[in-house]
Amino acid sequence: MVFPLLCAPNLVASKNMSLPAQIDPYKLALQGILLEGQVAVNDLPRLSSSVMAVSGSLKASIQFELDESRQRIARGKASVCVDVVCQRCLDAVNIELKADFALQLIYSEDQIANVAANYEPWVVVDRMADLNSVIEDEVLLVLPIVNYHRAEDCTGDTFVEKVAAKGEEAVVDSPFNVLKQLKQQ
């Protein structure tokens, strides 16, 4: 059975506008609203404390809608450039974080088992939710654990020993070499 959508045509916030911090995601999903805009660095305290610096504002696009089973969902993309520490040279390296997410709105943690496999749960107890926090969570999830410059751009390659010419075997200093010597005796 096909249900007619009770949604208004997609409404769009301007890409240059700030995204609202507090929203009613249930209402936005029923109306089929598309929010596009930016989140200021000041509104991303956890991201700011996890990296050296945030280079500009976070850009996001979130489509609130009903899926084919009439569940309220939010699909979106977010991107931001940040400076992180290169683990080889300990200098700053600029990377772009891009997050794609699909969230299903639920009223309580008791409903988590009912969330479809292709969605992550977004528990919204009250009518209002903090949009900045949700976007920041998704961006933090794509933050790499280890960061490096490209090999040719990194000054930390002085710690990497160059392997001798082809055909020569590289001597590997392994803790098991001692056991190998004992076995040969």
Distance (Å, rounded) from C-alpha 105 to C-alpha 128?
A: 12
**Average pLDDT, stretch 78-98?**
92
pLDDT at residue 1 greater than cutoff 50? no
pLDDT, tens only, 13-45:
445 688 999 999 999 999 999 999 999 999 999
Spatial CB neighbours of 22, under 8 Å, sequence gap ≥ 6: 128, 129, 130, 131
The predicted pLDDT at position 7 comes to 36
> Which of 78, 30, 80, 76 shows the shortest CA–CA distance to 55?
80
Q: Which tops the pLDDT comparison, 70 or 164?
A: 70
Is residue 110 within 8 A of residue 70, CB to CB? The reply is no
**Average pLDDT, stretch 52-60?**
92
Q: What is the 3-state secondary structure (H, E, C) of 86-110?
A: CCCCCCEEEEEEEEEEEEEEECCHH
Render 113-146 in DSSP notation, one character per residue. Answer: GGS-TTSEEEE--SS-EEHHHHHHHHHHHTS-SS
Which residue in the block uniquely carries the two structure tokens 């683990």?
A: 87
pTM > 0.85: yes or no: no
Boundaries of every domain in the chain: 22-184
The predicted pLDDT at position 161 comes to 52
**Average pLDDT, stretch 125-148?**
92
**Average pLDDT, stretch 62-90?**
93
Q: Which tops the pLDDT comparison, 92 or 164?
A: 92
**Average pLDDT, stretch 165-181?**
66
Is residue 37 within 8 A of residue 130, CB to CB? The reply is no
> Which of 48, 8, 42 shows the shortest CA–CA distance to 28?
8
